[in-house]
Structure 1
Amino acid sequence: MATLKLNQKLKRIEIQKFELDNDIVFNYFDNLPANERDDKLIRALYIGVLALMEDRISAFLSKTSNELGTELESLKMIFEMKKELFYKSTIKGTLAEDEIAEFLNEYFIGKKMNDRALLTGNAAGELPRNKTGDIICRINGDEGIKIAVECKFDKSIKLGTIDSKDLFIRKTDTAWSQLIEANANRNSKVSLIVFDRSLVDNSILKYCENVGYIPEIGFIAIIDSQKGDYNNLIIAYMLARDIAINARNVELDKDILGVLVTRIIKDINEIRSIKALVERNIDTNHEILKQIEKSMLLMEFNQKYLNQFLETGTLTKKDLLDFYMGDDVKGQFKLIEKDIISL
């Protein structure tokens, strides 16, 4: 019986009993809350169908049909496809805004917060014909307490400090100008600008590698969308949220606030640097273990054929082929490699 059937009347796909033995897929769904898995499965299926509709991708898959290379090459193809889609200038801005708004709303729901991220789309704000401020976050559902989020996946945007601004040249967008403009245009308490690590100017990276705070101007968050890492966005948002909530009732000393936030961000960046070092160490140790296991398997494999040769004085053509190909070693190493990766 076929696993997949098409219901032509209802225009639906019907899937019978279905199981999939794949570590990557299992680990992804295992890390999701149970109530999100069905929705993510439908989205994964939809994205996969879109990918298969591309002639270039279909041709690519047909060329990598050998059992050993298919999984690795397919993963590479998916990454390249996502990167290609992301870098298309016509859609990368919209993609960024949609993904960030969706991520924030999922975070709010997961943390049982009453905040809401709303896309402003093409709607102008307080300033005539001005659309700066891609997302408005209403804190606890209060329209009077808002954080304006500007998404700038654009390498041409520089930091733009006040002392570097030349009033006599043509106006260009900078991180400073976009933060100030978003705040004014969306009438928000605090503004936040988001950059992607693969599309950010060096002047901004020199100022902050992860999260930055410009006193009286706003926050900078640098995410890595290709790796799905939005942690810096959450850190910057929660800091901005605290300021936005307390700005109503407390007369803040901005100098002291600047010192406090700068120190918090410094400590956060140090922790993230330590985490990165630990992760690199883990990866390195995994590779060392793999090389040790490979060497041990090869010694045992070579010893087996050496003993056979010493006992019989010869090797058959089949023995020589098996020795050359080493398929037994490859199969054994695959099992060992899985155990090493799971450490």
Structure 2
Amino acid sequence: MRIDHKLQRIQVDSFEISDELVYRFFISLPENERETALLRAIRIGVLATMEDRFSAFLSKTTDDLGVQLENLKLLFDMKQEIFHKTAIKGVAAENDILEFLETYIDHFHLGDVVLLSRTSKGLLKNNKTGDILAYVGGENSGKKVAIECKFDKSIKLGDVDSLDIASNKYDTAWSQLLETTVNRGANTSIIVFDKTLADASIQRAVDGVTYIDNIGFICIIDYEASDYHNLAIAYNFARKLALRKDGKNIEVDFVNMLIQRLLKDIRDIQNIEMLVKNNIKNNLQILKNIEKSLLSIEFNQQYLMKYLEDGYLSKADLLDFYQREDIRTKYKLISKDIEGIETEEHL
């Protein structure tokens, strides 16, 4: 293992592990997801190792670790549940979503303005629904898209017929979309869920993004992976709906078909990108191996010529031949140059 302080990287050569649990986990994944899963596993392992209570727990259960593994899993699940339920995560997610939308708008020169509105009251009495407000084409355009972020499991999909008049619990994705639109005086709205927290009814009905006629867009993002491409699709459609002037009804099925086509294209691109990145890494490793072999051939030829010319090799020569410090130094320089190519590819 080597630590590159300049690039802030950990380098491990010829890593191999023989563990049935690890093997079964990775063999169950598609090939293009294994590298990402490995990086996540390393990060989680490092975080766990840094956690004193986790380390203390392991040290206490060394002898009966197998029995306690289930307890460990329960502790981890509890910590995750507490984390997902905290208001802090919701606030952080709203800020990150706002930053993403600002970057998206700036990149495509849309001229929209997005602002946090979660702390301000809207048009409905004592109501703050609608965490982010997007002014399409500028603050004076009169066209608005309201965005509600839901990072909890309490919201189901719902529909008009699902309201029980005997119950005060009527919050659903449908109702929240309508409430968001009315409360912020918007043309349409988007409700955003995290894929790890969305209710099963939403997961079944929404494949990334879905448009509900005259209500708005339901969008599922991967917050942990900072993957907001579904939100980009939803926002792009929503702002175009807000800019419509003719007032004609739109074909909901056609909109959803377009959305699904876009989602498929994006997934295909992501798979291709993963394959390209893997090929780049493989080719760079091949290049390293070629350079190493060429250096070794050159080095061996030098000592062969020396032996043929002088008829012998001194003990100092034999030591140099054995240690190969000169070739080692040259290879390190070449290896850094090749790694520089890899760094440029990521920029």
Query: In the alignment, what sits opposite 2:180?
Result: 182
The CA deviation at 1:296 is: 1.5
Name the SS for the 2:251 alignment partner.
Answer: helix
2:303/2:321 contact within 8 Å kept: no
Question: Partners of 1:295 and 1:197 in 2: how far apart?
Answer: 42
Residue type at the aligned position of 2:130:
G
How many residues align? The count is 270
**Alignment of structure 1 residues 1-343 onto 2, 5 Å:** 67=4, 71-72=8-9, 89-105=86-102, 107-108=104-105, 111-140=108-137, 141-142=139-140, 145-154=143-152, 156=153, 159-162=156-159, 165=162, 167=164, 171=169, 173-196=171-194, 200=198, 204-224=202-222, 229-246=227-244, 249-252=246-249, 257-304=251-298, 306-307=300-301, 311=307, 316-322=318-324, 326-339=328-341, 342=344
1:305/1:323 contact within 8 Å kept: no
Of residues 130-139 and 167-176 in structure 1, the stretch that sits farther from structure 2 once superposed is 167-176
Question: Partners of 1:237 and 1:284 in 2: how far apart?
Answer: 31
1:182/1:191 contact within 8 Å kept: yes
Question: Partners of 1:335 and 1:194 in 2: how far apart?
Answer: 44
The CA deviation at 1:172 is: 7.3
Question: Partners of 1:68 and 1:328 in 2: how far apart?
Answer: 20
Name the SS for the 2:8 alignment partner.
Answer: helix
Note the residue ranges of structure 1 that are not aligned, 5 or more in a row. Answer: 1-63
Q: For the structure 1 residues 295 and 101, does the alpha-carbon distance in structure 2 shift closer, same or farther, using more than 3 Å as the test?
A: closer
Name the SS for the 1:91 alignment partner.
Answer: helix
2:288/2:338 contact within 8 Å kept: no
Question: Partners of 1:145 and 1:245 in 2: how far apart?
Answer: 7
Q: For the structure 1 residues 324 and 198, does the alpha-carbon distance in structure 2 shift closer, same or farther, using more than 3 Å as the test?
A: farther
CA RMSD of aligned residues (A): 4.3
2:132/2:148 contact within 8 Å kept: yes
1:160/1:177 contact within 8 Å kept: no
1:206-262 per-residue CA deviation (whole Å, 9 max, x = no partner) reads 54444322233311334455665544333212211222233x64241xxx5202211
1:148/1:183 contact within 8 Å kept: yes
Note the residue ranges of structure 2 that are not aligned, 5 or more in a row. Answer: 11-41, 48-79
2:291/2:331 contact within 8 Å kept: yes
Percent sequence identity over matched residues? 32
Question: Partners of 2:203 and 2:284 in 1: how far apart?
Answer: 35
Question: Partners of 1:169 and 1:152 in 2: how far apart?
Answer: 21
Query: In the alignment, what sits opposite 1:9?
Result: none
1:256-280 per-residue CA deviation (whole Å, 9 max, x = no partner) reads 5202211210221121022112201
Q: For the structure 1 residues 304 and 87, does the alpha-carbon distance in structure 2 shift closer, same or farther, using more than 3 Å as the test?
A: farther
Residue type at the aligned position of 1:71:
Q
Question: Partners of 1:319 and 1:210 in 2: how far apart?
Answer: 61
TM (norm. structure 2) is 0.61
2:163/2:170 contact within 8 Å kept: no
Name the SS for the 1:118 alignment partner.
Answer: strand
Question: Partners of 1:171 and 1:323 in 2: how far apart?
Answer: 74
Of residues 237-246 and 318-327 in structure 1, the stretch that sits farther from structure 2 once superposed is 318-327
Larger-Rg structure: 2
Q: For the structure 1 residues 283 and 242, does the alpha-carbon distance in structure 2 shift closer, same or farther, using more than 3 Å as the test?
A: same
Question: Partners of 1:138 and 1:111 in 2: how far apart?
Answer: 15
Query: In the alignment, what sits opposite 1:4?
Result: none
Of residues 138-147 and 331-340 in structure 1, the stretch that sits farther from structure 2 once superposed is 138-147
Q: For the structure 1 residues 160 and 222, does the alpha-carbon distance in structure 2 shift closer, same or farther, using more than 3 Å as the test?
A: closer
Of residues 189-198 and 318-327 in structure 1, the stretch that sits farther from structure 2 once superposed is 318-327
Residue type at the aligned position of 1:259:
D
Question: Partners of 2:243 and 2:167 in 1: how far apart?
Answer: 38
Question: Partners of 2:293 and 2:191 in 1: how far apart?
Answer: 56
Question: Partners of 1:201 and 1:305 in 2: how far apart?
Answer: 64
